[in-house]
Structure 1
Amino acid sequence: MKSTHTIFLLIFTAFVFMGCEKLVDDLNENPNQLTLDDIDAGLFLNGAELSNISIQLGSYSRMAGYWSGQLVGFEQTEFERYQYSVTSSTFDWDGYQSVLTPLREIQERTIDNPLLLGISKVIEAHLVGTYASLFGDIPYSEALTDIENPIFDKQTVVFAQLQLLLDDAITELENAEGYGVLEDFIFNGDRQKWLESAWTLKGRYYTHTKEYSLAYNAASNGISSSANNMMFNPLDITGENSTKNKYYILLEAGPYTGTSGSYLEQLLDETSSVSRNNSKTDETARLKYYTIDQTSGDANLGIAHELEPQPMITYRENLLILAESGLRTNGFSTGLEHLNELRTFLNTGSFLNDNFSSESYAYEVYITEDFNAGGIENLDSIDTDSALLREIIEERYVSGFTTFMAFDDTRRLQKSDSDIDVPFALNVATSTQNVERMLYPEDEILSNTMAPSDPGLYEATEVNQ
């Protein structure tokens, strides 16, 4: 892993995503003297954001969907990934250069704008936390330094470092009132939205490490409404397909991925033997909205529509962190309260787009009796707390579709909570084991002498052992 700043990449992202007229004028006047110091540090933000979006919503999230039963790969590369046919060359850590390098440039040169600093640290924590979750031990403390062969930090150490980084980001964002940023594709410089995302990320990572009391406290300050979700909002630019929904882009090229036959589809289908529909839950609309038709990008009007926003950190996730960690630390009533907050939100139908808002749906609030032995959420008569936990995890599986939530939960809970029949689905046609991690990228293995031997797909990472 090299620490060299890729000047061309940074200038390119500034050109493409910021459209800064002054920057273009400077280039025309004296291109040979342009250096990083000539570019306002704030202009690196959009490029880092867009690169991070591509990583969070790209091939890794699809593989996570294949390996947790939410998606099916139908042709070529996507079929191979669905069949677990991957090697180290399948993966890369391009985000170290395309995301972390511009962010570090911001952090090194920005001393008087706490808003820009805070935003940069939230994005860094988002990327690095995703890598740590998916791969386990990764370079971090020595990455992008003068050290040519950085060590691989333990996964738990990385998560601890990210909690401190997010603490710094929160302090900076709390002190950032009145400050602005030049460019911010995600939240347009909205300090409160960035602040809430930072708290929800803390809750996510404390959930990964099973520190549930800390997760609850963090999520209590997290995303407070769906209006504050961190989303990728596709752009409708004439002649430009790359700005569209990531699933739409893939499906325009061929019938590569979809939901047909997936465990997710079965959970939502009222005719299925594992259906989660009951007298208080009607998933008809969500099933149709979540359906990804592999035959044509244009056939998709729901979650894979060309201009449909794609979630990264959301109000629904935050409520489900509160529900699970609240149940585990404060008891049944706390968990149920937060689950019902989510169900009340779902019952507004606002999570659907206009193509499906007229379809039937229902998410009536649950009461304690629904989870007692013989209740509608406890037909197999397990203990009441376990029945509620099962429903919360199942809702995380469904609400987290197209994010990493189901894959993360599969690995986190299959050992510690295997006794409650949580809804973890293998791609049973091709494997008898759950994938525990992704493989270290070939480029890193070949270039970094400190890279350890890769333990393979089925070796649990430190936090999931």
Structure 2
Amino acid sequence: MKRFKRCIFIPLLMVLLSCESVVDELNTDPNNPAQASATLLLTGLQLGNISIHEGHTARVAGLWSGYFTGIDRQYRDIYFYNASGGLFNVSWQNIYYGVLQQTKLLEEQARLTNNRVIAGIAKVVKAHAAGAATSGWGDVPFAQAADIAQFPNPVFDKQEDIYKSLQKLLDDAIADLETNQGTTPGVADIHFGGNTTKWIDVAHTLKARFYLDVRDYANAYKEAQLGIKNAEGSLLAPHGTSSGINENFYFTGRSITDIDSQGAYITTILDPASAAYRGDAKTDERARLNFYLTYTEANGVKSSFKHNYTSTATKKGVFAQDAPFPLITFQENQLILAEAGYRVNGLEEGLLQLNKYRAYLNEGGYIGTTYREGNFKYEPYVAADFTAGGIANKKREAAGDALLREILEERYITFFGQILGFNDLRRTRKEAVVVPVPANNGSVLPERFVYAQDEVNSNTNAPNPVPGVFEPTPVNKK
């Protein structure tokens, strides 16, 4: 981290959309970043946060979660779990300089002007970025991060301690936001325009996510009840149609022919022609398959699965040029209610919450409107559907296990292209009920990202030896 203090990630979105590269043609003096206005800093750290969740780490997570397939060059190597620290240098920079360092500066400015609204928003964004760091890498710098002058070699905090600190940080953020004290950031807040109610809901959903990560299902359920209440409250990364400027990250990378979804696990459960298809008399997944992926078809057999970048005036795929990218959403919140509700209160509550989500999908949900056309159906389940021999219990297992499998599978499909799918697979891997994504190489599945090589080289407190991709993070060793 101490090598990153000369890197600047704001304010240009172009910087973040060009393979998350770092450039130096910016209007902020890197030696005096505190001179930037609070609103400029807020926009910058929000853009930096987008790059974390939509950029390189999301692609790697997708390759390791049965969403994507690596075809050639570096993506083929990553697909087969050959990952080095150098692959994560920029991701690490985006977290520690692009968000955490900028948040520190912004909080200092907000404190001087007693602007608790901006401080609260900044804390939620910081928690989101730091959560991605600890979920992906395990033990990481946190308490001493973003203070290079005092801590040139920040210690790596324990993962469980970081999750506790993130809960406290989000509590502080909610308290700040509830005051409505300070000047609204307006359009400088690229997500909600300073709407504190929406930010409070997002903070509760993020708290629920972090409780889920550590398997504290009671608190996850409690926080999700206070979380995002409808699709309009979702935190999304906004995108536009300016080439190389504000496009969806996946659309920008569409020219990368080294990655697609041919043979990926997700195609097998969404394709009605597949033996593993998850549909039933109450579930039709054709619209979601077509929204996510394009393919060729001959004699009923689909092949050449590629990501859907379609960006016409009448049809937009999941990775269309101006498609917003999900960061913290109503979909996630409702599915936390379903999973945690089942684990805490049993089948009746889990089924109730799952059916609320299916009702949302049955109205079209997040699926592009032109892909529906009668090709989707998500009718409500009843308890009998999950008994042995029921339409949602193909494995003839216990009813509760069948419901949990349905919920986990729904989460897996909903989180296509997001890091969350990778998190879920690791969290549930040792349980009896799992989403059975097969290994791409051998029989062992990856458990973590590799520590950035720049950090390992420059921080004397970096782990030695550096854990490999198959070493579970502390919370997933249990």
Question: Residue 445 and residue 388 in structure 1: after superposition, are their counterparts in 2 closer, same or farther (change >3 A)?
Answer: same
Deviation at 1:142, TM superposition (A): 0.9
For 1:364-443, list aligned pairs within 5 A: 364-415=379-430, 417=431, 419-420=432-433, 422-428=434-440, 430-443=441-454
The one-letter amino acid paired with 1:364 is: E
Give the Cα separation in 2 of the matches to 1:90 and 1:14: 23
Give the Cα separation in 2 of the matches to 1:165 and 1:295: 37
State which of 250, 255, 258 in structure 2 corresponds to 1:256. 258
Contact map agreement 2:88 2:450 (CA 8 A) in 1: yes
Equivalent residue number for residue 11 of structure 2: 13
Give the Cα separation in 2 of the matches to 1:432 and 1:109: 51
Give the Cα separation in 1 of the matches to 2:13 and 2:40: 9
State which of 163, 167, 176 in structure 2 corresponds to 1:163. 167
For 1:19-168, list aligned pairs within 5 A: 35-92=32-89, 93-94=92-93, 95-111=95-111, 112-145=114-147, 146-168=150-172
Equivalent residue number for residue 314 of structure 1: 329
State which of 228, 238, 244 in structure 2 corresponds to 1:241. 244
Gaps of 5+ in 2: 16-25, 295-304
Deviation at 1:434, TM superposition (A): 0.9
Q: Secondary structure at the match of 1:110?
A: helix
Tell me if 1:457 matches 2:462: no
Question: Residue 464 and residue 47 in structure 1: after superposition, are their counterparts in 2 closer, same or farther (change >3 A)?
Answer: same
Aligned length: 445
Greater shift, 202-211 or 253-262, is seen at: 253-262
Q: Secondary structure at the match of 1:355?
A: helix
Q: Secondary structure at the match of 1:9?
A: coil
Equivalent residue number for residue 300 of structure 2: none
Give the Cα separation in 2 of the matches to 1:259 and 1:193: 34
The one-letter amino acid paired with 1:226 is: A
Q: Secondary structure at the match of 1:91?
A: helix
Give the Cα separation in 2 of the matches to 1:191 and 1:312: 17
Deviation at 1:427, TM superposition (A): 3.7
State which of 361, 367, 379 in structure 2 corresponds to 1:346. 361
Give the Cα separation in 2 of the matches to 1:374 and 1:45: 54
Deviation at 1:178, TM superposition (A): 7.5
The one-letter amino acid paired with 2:8 is: L
Deviations 1:237-280 (A, max 9, x none): 3xx323111111111x3313222221111111111111110000
Question: Residue 256 and residue 243 in structure 1: after superposition, are their counterparts in 2 closer, same or farther (change >3 A)?
Answer: farther
Equivalent residue number for residue 23 of structure 1: none
The one-letter amino acid paired with 1:346 is: L
The one-letter amino acid paired with 1:233 is: P
Deviation at 1:350, TM superposition (A): 3.5
The one-letter amino acid paired with 1:160 is: K
Deviation at 1:379, TM superposition (A): 2.6
Contact map agreement 1:332 1:385 (CA 8 A) in 2: yes
Equivalent residue number for residue 20 of structure 1: none
Gaps of 5+ in 1: 18-26
Give the Cα separation in 1 of the matches to 2:411 and 2:120: 28
Contact map agreement 1:134 1:437 (CA 8 A) in 2: yes
Give the Cα separation in 1 of the matches to 2:270 and 2:44: 37
Deviation at 1:9, TM superposition (A): 2.5
Equivalent residue number for residue 214 of structure 1: 219
Contact map agreement 1:254 1:295 (CA 8 A) in 2: no
Question: Residue 286 and residue 296 in structure 1: after superposition, are their counterparts in 2 closer, same or farther (change >3 A)?
Answer: closer
Deviation at 1:386, TM superposition (A): 1.0
Q: Secondary structure at the match of 2:371?
A: coil
Q: Secondary structure at the match of 2:326?
A: strand
Equivalent residue number for residue 2 of structure 1: 2
Scaled by the length of structure 2, the TM-score of the pair is 0.88
Aligned CA-pair RMSD? 2.4
Give the Cα separation in 2 of the matches to 1:255 and 1:116: 41
The one-letter amino acid paired with 2:178 is: E
